[in-house]
Amino acid sequence: MKYLLLFCLFFSSLLAQSELSSKTIKFSGELKPNIKKRVSIKTIESLGIKSFEILDPYTKIKTKYSGVDLKTFANFFANENTKSISFNALDGYSVNITKKEWEKFHILLATRINGQIVGYDKKGPLRVVYPKYKKANENFAKNLPKWIWMIKSIEFK
């Protein structure tokens, strides 16, 4: 029984790694040289994962979001001429975040929710989240519409 449990844990770990590698986001625009046009969630996570437990403003449920800081992401993928990044969702919704914004606000590219890798069926595989928002803050109303999920492509402008 012990070996069966170890095998199941090992197999589920392999499946999770395979799932991370197979989920990709299309990139375009002002990229650094040698950056591929399709990047896996695993590659994005390799930049360093941070986690935040917050009250999700849409679901009103305390949720743990994990992912990569947008500033770190931009520094790695965007060339020095990039002034903004456009995130495009599967449903056609699009959000543009300027360099000034990612340097001023803490913005997270969430790749996991409550520790789990998520697919499009759960509003994944990538989301933009503002983990340090406060409802009373004047920037709350401005940044709330920039929460985007089901991201399929990213354009560096």
**If you search the block for the tokens 């920039």, which residue do you land on?**
146
The number of distinct structural domains making up the chain is 1
Structure confidence at residue 135 (pLDDT): 66
CATH number, residue 21? 3.90.420.10
Instruction: Supply the pLDDT for residue 8.
Output: 36
What pTM was estimated for this model as a whole? 0.83
Q: What is the DSSP letter of 146?
A: G
Phi and psi at residue 56, to the nearest 5°: -65, 125
Tokens of 82: 């990039």
Tens digits of residue pLDDT in 74-115: 999 999 999 999 999 999 999 999 999 999 999 999 999 999
Summarised one tens digit per residue, pLDDT across range 140-152 is: 778 889 999 999 9
Say whether pLDDT at 14 is over 90: no
pLDDT of residue 5: 40
Residue 38 domain boundaries: 2-156
